[in-house]
């Protein structure tokens, strides 16, 4: 235990000196070897959330893209996340974009990536999730995030097929229409296209009714959000994730890699992701479960997202920078932020809005 803690403390500075994708691969290897992930203690009841018919021990999720092939979902859940999301998986395996395709902007607390859905494909993904389903409970709801291949995609058929295969194996499914690195993907968010697509997808989940969420891009115009929300509700979608990475570059973003092409995540995304969430929350008026994502790095950020209408949140970039210790810090800070606001629980924060 001591050794493991020491190894975890050592690992972040060491990992940070390596090229980012190499560091990421090593972090996954360490997780799969059990070198991290026994540090979590049970969450107190005040952090619990109920949403989409599921119970979450705390509202802090791991966002998609960290474990694209569902290799280490169990060790990740053991770190103390309230929900963990595997993927994005595409129907067929694909290599993604040429390297380098992942860039740190440490001074900005940000990352730019143009990974391009590198993954081993649906067959491998499904087999891993089957293995997980067959074993002991993960202790946190498990999501699968679905995408389409760069070449030869048929979105209606491809998403529906993946939903059919994965719905029995996970607690929720995410239709990713927002990654900036697959040409044409974000066009599927246009209402002319979205309605038919979502109806086909909802029909595919069948009698199991596994909750379905759609993950949106922060580059959407506010004017487009009303149509998207109404279309999602009409199709029977359960929730939205706001948001994926940002294509636009906020003014003042500096650093050696600030000009790299790809999606921007982390601190510079926080303001837009929060404002968009607040607008989506206003429009959906309690009809959809909302997961806030983008630039969350403190307990105060989480409370702000809850106040903007989130039921749950997800993190990626702050976890990549800080490692497993992030979770303990976020929970401590969230408890403090709730207490400072005179609230005794996450549910109280959610209720105070409604």
Where in the sequence numbering do the catalytic residues fall?
Answer: 179
Binding mask 274-313 for ligand FMN (x = CB under 6 A): -------------------xxxx-----------------
Q: Restricting to residues 98-117, which ones interact with ligand FMN according to CB under 6 A?
A: 102, 111, 113, 115
The alpha carbon of residue 216 and the mean position of all alpha carbons in its chain are separated, in whole angstroms, by 11
Least distance from C-beta 108 to ligand FMN, angstroms?
A: 11
Q: Restricting to residues 188-227, which ones interact with ligand FMN according to CB under 6 A?
A: 215
Tokens of 101: 């395709």
Least distance from C-beta 245 to ligand FMN, angstroms?
A: 5
Least distance from C-beta 62 to ligand FMN, angstroms?
A: 9
Q: How far is CA 107 from CA 125, 255, 266, 289, in A?
A: 35, 7, 11, 33
Question: Does 315 participate in binding ligand FMN (rule CB under 6 A)?
Answer: yes
Question: Does 125 participate in binding ligand FMN (rule CB under 6 A)?
Answer: no
Total residue count of the chain as it appears in this document: 354
Question: Does 145 participate in binding ligand FMN (rule CB under 6 A)?
Answer: yes
Residue 116's nearest CA partner among 186, 179, 173 is 179
Question: Does 122 participate in binding ligand FMN (rule CB under 6 A)?
Answer: no
DSSP state of 256: T
Strand ranges (E), 70-148: 83-89, 102-105, 110-113, 142-146
Least distance from C-beta 310 to ligand FMN, angstroms?
A: 13
Tokens of 121: 């494909």
Question: Does 269 participate in binding ligand FMN (rule CB under 6 A)?
Answer: yes
Task: Give the contacts of 182 (CB within 8 A, at least 6 positions apart).
Answer: 116, 117, 147, 148, 150
Least distance from C-beta 215 to ligand FMN, angstroms?
A: 5
Least distance from C-beta 317 to ligand FMN, angstroms?
A: 3
Residue 269's nearest CA partner among 242, 300, 308 is 242
How many angstroms separate the CA atoms of 30 and 17, rounded?
16
Helix pair 155-166, 122-134: axis angle to 10 deg: 20
Binding mask 46-85 for ligand FMN (x = CB under 6 A): -----------------xxx--x-----------------
How many angstroms separate the CA atoms of 8 and 331, rounded?
18
The alpha carbon of residue 157 and the mean position of all alpha carbons in its chain are separated, in whole angstroms, by 24
- Residue 87 near residue 174, CB atoms below 8 Å: yes
Measured from the CB atom, the residue of 75 and 294 that comes closer to ligand FMN is 294
Measured from the CB atom, the residue of 12 and 345 that comes closer to ligand FMN is 12
User: How many other CB atoms are there within 10 angstroms of residue 211's CB atom?
Assistant: 22
Question: Does 91 participate in binding ligand FMN (rule CB under 6 A)?
Answer: no
Task: Give the contacts of 210 (CB within 8 A, at least 6 positions apart).
Answer: 163, 167, 168, 170, 171, 172, 173
Question: Does 172 participate in binding ligand FMN (rule CB under 6 A)?
Answer: no
Stretch that binds ligand FMN, among 27-35, 69-77, 184-192, 264-272 (CB under 6 A): 264-272
Question: Does 324 participate in binding ligand FMN (rule CB under 6 A)?
Answer: no
Contact pick of 11, 58, 88, 289 for ligand FMN (by CB under 6 A): 88
Task: Give the contacts of 3 (CB within 8 A, at least 6 positions apart).
Answer: none
Question: Does 118 participate in binding ligand FMN (rule CB under 6 A)?
Answer: no
Size of the site for ligand FMN (CB under 6 A): 26
Q: Which residues bind ligand FMN (CB under 6 A)?
A: 63-65, 68, 88, 102, 111, 113, 115, 145, 176, 179, 215, 244-245, 265-266, 269, 293-296, 315-318
């Amino acid at each position: 235990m001591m050794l493991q803690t020491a190894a975890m403390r050592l690992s972040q500075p060491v990992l940070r000196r390596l090229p980012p994708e190499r560091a990421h691969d090593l972090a996954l290897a360490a997780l799969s070897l059990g070198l991290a992930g026994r540090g979590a203690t049970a969450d107190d009841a005040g952090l619990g959330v109920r949403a989409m018919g599921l119970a979450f021990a705390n509202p802090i999720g791991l966002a998609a893209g960290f474990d694209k092939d569902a290799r280490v979902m169990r060790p990740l859940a053991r770190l103390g996340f309230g929900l963990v999301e595997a993927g994005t998986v595409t129907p067929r395996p694909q290599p993604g974009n040429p390297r380098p395709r992942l860039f740190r902007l440490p001074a900005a607390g940000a990352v730019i990536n143009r990974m391009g859905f590198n993954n081993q494909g649906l067959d491998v993904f499904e087999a891993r999730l089957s293995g997980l389903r067959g074993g002991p409970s993960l202790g946190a709801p498990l999501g699968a995030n679905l995408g389409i291949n760069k070449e030869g995609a048929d979105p209606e058929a491809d998403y529906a097929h993946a939903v059919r295969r994965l719905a029995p194996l996970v607690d929720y499914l995410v239709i990713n229409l927002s990654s900036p690195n697959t040409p044409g993907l974000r066009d599927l968010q246009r209402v002319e296209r979205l309605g038919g697509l979502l109806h086909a997808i909802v029909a595919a989940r069948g009698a199991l009714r596994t909750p379905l969420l759609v993950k949106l891009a922060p580059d959407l115009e506010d004017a487009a959000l009303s149509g998207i929300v109404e279309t999602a509700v009409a199709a029977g979608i359960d929730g939205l994730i706001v948001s994926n990475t940002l294509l636009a570059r906020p003014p003042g973003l500096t650093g050696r890699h600030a000009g790299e092409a790809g999606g921007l995540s982390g601190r510079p995304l926080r303001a837009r992701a929060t404002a968009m969430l607040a607008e989506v929350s206003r429009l959906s008026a309690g009809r959809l479960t909302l997961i806030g994502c983008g630039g969350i790095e403190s307990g105060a950020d989480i409370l702000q997202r809850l106040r903007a209408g989130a039921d749950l949140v997800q993190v990626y970039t702050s976890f990549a920078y800080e490692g497993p210790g992030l979770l303990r810090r976020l929970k401590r800070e969230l408890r403090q932020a709730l207490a400072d606001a005179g609230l005794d629980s996450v549910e109280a924060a959610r209720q105070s809005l409604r």
